[in-house]
Amino acid sequence: MNYEIKQSGKFKYVEEGTGEPLVLLHGLFGALSNFKDLVDHFKSTHRVIIPLLPLYDLTVLDTTVSGLAKFVQKFFENQKLQNVHLLGNSLGGHVGLVFVLKNPGLVKTITLTGSSGLFENGMGETYPKRGDYNYVQKKTELTFYDPKIANKELVDEVFGIINNRLKAIKIIALARSAIRHNLGDELQQIKQPVCLIWGKNDTITPPMVAEEFHKLLPNSELHWIDKCGHAPMMEVPGEFNVILSSFLSKHVG
């Protein structure tokens, strides 16, 4: 994705388009490129913003889901954001939910896709096999229904992260924090409209997770995408964008 990375104080972010703000939160191994098709589609109708989450830059104590949610809160303050449509994939969805629970008045709608927060299978709960490229490739391929989506560029990026000792430690800390920080008892407090867009073939946050989110979030709707894994906005962007457009169109103004 060739969008300019802007900076305001300590915050780095991508911002494209004008209109109601649509803030995108990426996951544990999420890259900006994961949202390329989504940004291209929605920048004509929304002010699309992707803050770069400091996955590897927080102190050890703050390398948690709550620590990232506090960072998002400070980013909102820095950008004076309100009436936001918030979208999170994987860990980004989890961070978004924790943020909304603390700041309900700033968020208008929530979209979750492959979100953690209830249950997840991940790469990070045990120490990854550093140096084993084939292992990393296989684990990356499991993110998708079509393993070819895990191209060499993507696998190289994940391989580089887990072969950096400090980054690998931070990944494990965040993955463990996500497992510990279960939101099952708190989700009924979230009153905003929630759109759940889930891959039927997600092996990291399986379909039962989507069904549980749907049951616990009082104002939610659930949409399935067949032959799709953990990152629908990346694997099946056309279908994903149609569902999201329909949802957002119901909550304009």
| CB distance 155 to 164 below 8 Å | no
Cα–Cα distance measured from residue 131 to residue 162, given in angstroms and rounded to the nearest whole number: 9
> CA nearest 170: which of 75, 54, 92, 51?
54
For 55-64, 94-103, 191-200, which range has the lowest pLDDT when averaged over its residues?
55-64
Q: What is the pLDDT of residue 130?
A: 65
| CB distance 203 to 210 below 8 Å | no
Cα–Cα distance measured from residue 47 to residue 36, given in angstroms and rounded to the nearest whole number: 14
Give SS3 for 45: coil
| CB distance 86 to 23 below 8 Å | yes
The token pair at 122 is 């991940």
Residue 1 confidence class, pLDDT cut points 50, 70, 90: low
Report the percent of the chain where pLDDT is more than 90.
80
The whole-chain average pLDDT of the chain stands at 93
> CA nearest 197: which of 150, 147, 245, 149?
245
Phi, psi (degrees; rounded to nearest 5) at 4:
-70, 135
> What is the side-by-side order of every strand in the sheet holding 220-225?
5-8, 11-16, 46-51, 20-25, 84-89, 107-113, 194-199, 220-225
Give SS3 for 108: strand
Cα–Cα distance measured from residue 46 to residue 249, given in angstroms and rounded to the nearest whole number: 11
Phi, psi (degrees; rounded to nearest 5) at 18:
-135, 160
Q: What is the pLDDT of residue 231?
A: 95
User: Which residues lie below 8 Å from residue 201, measured CB to CB, with a gap of 6+?
Assistant: 145, 226, 227, 228, 229
DSSP-derived secondary structure letter, 20? E
Q: What is the pLDDT of residue 26?
A: 95
**Per-residue pLDDT reduced to its tens digit, 198-246:** 999 999 999 999 999 999 999 999 999 999 999 999 999 999 999 999 9
**Per-residue pLDDT reduced to its tens digit, 124-166:** 445 456 678 998 898 889 999 999 999 999 999 889 988 998 8
- Domains of the chain, CATH where assigned: 5-120+182-249 (3.40.50.1820)
DSSP-derived secondary structure letter, 83? S
